[in-house]
Amino acid sequence: MISFSKKLYYAIEAVLYIAYNSGNGPISGRDISEKQGLPSRYLEQLMQKLVRGGLLRSVRGPHGGYVLARERRRITLGDICNVLRDDSEDNETEGYGGTPLGSHVVLPVWNVAHHHMMVHLKQVDLASLCEHAAQQNIKKTHQEKMDFTI
């Protein structure tokens, strides 16, 4: 089975967290790292790549954080994968010098599987994932923080 890297999984979850909870303004990096149980320095590197890739915007100031750079329906999981893909991954199989079995039989199957996976991920947008989260009764951050105790 083809698996995602932890880095990609954390980035997708962070962007989805922002999309799902962004109704009250920017989401702080600290809030995201606490929710995911990640060191903030690790998450910050991922977030900056997403900002440079045009998926997030960074908001400065005491109530700053991250917001989506586009509408939820205009950001797909494929977009996140493309932004976080390392340049070294592009060339992993290029110029593969293995056996004829590997280069003429296995590699074409691998490339087709990768292509189909990316086609599917480009069809899954953040808006549909947010709808799915709401259907699963996953509370938003601002709902979790409300306390009307007297």
Domain range summary for the chain, segments of one domain joined by +: 6-145
- Please report how many Cα atoms fall inside a 13 Å half-sphere around the Cα of residue 25, on the Cβ side: 8
Q: Does domain 6-145 correspond to CATH entry 1.10.10.10?
A: yes
Span of 83-87, 105-109, 111-115 with lowest mean pLDDT: 83-87
The mean per-residue pLDDT over the stretch 22-43 comes to: 91
Q: How far is CA 40 from CA 28, 123, 134, in A?
A: 10, 30, 27
For residue 3, the model assigns a pLDDT of 63
* % of the chain surpassing 90 pLDDT: 65
Burial class (CB within 10 angstroms; exposed 0-12, middle 13-18, buried 19+) of 31: middle
Range list of β-strands (E), 1-138: 56-59, 65-68
- Is the confidence at residue 146, as pLDDT, over 50? no
70-99 pLDDT, tens per residue? 999 999 999 999 999 864 455 455 656 679
Q: What is the per-residue pLDDT for 92?
A: 56
Q: 147 pLDDT exceeds 60?
A: no
56 has a pLDDT exceeding 90: yes
The pLDDT of residue 1 is: 44
**Lowest mean per-residue pLDDT among 1-15, 29-43, 44-58:** 1-15
pLDDT band at 23 (very low <50, low <70, confident <90, very high): confident
The pLDDT of 56-74, averaged and rounded, is 95
Contact between 108 and 115 (Cβ < 8 Å):
no
What count of Cα atoms within 13 Å lies in the side-chain half-sphere of residue 15? Answer: 36
Please tell me the predicted confidence (pLDDT) of residue 44.
94
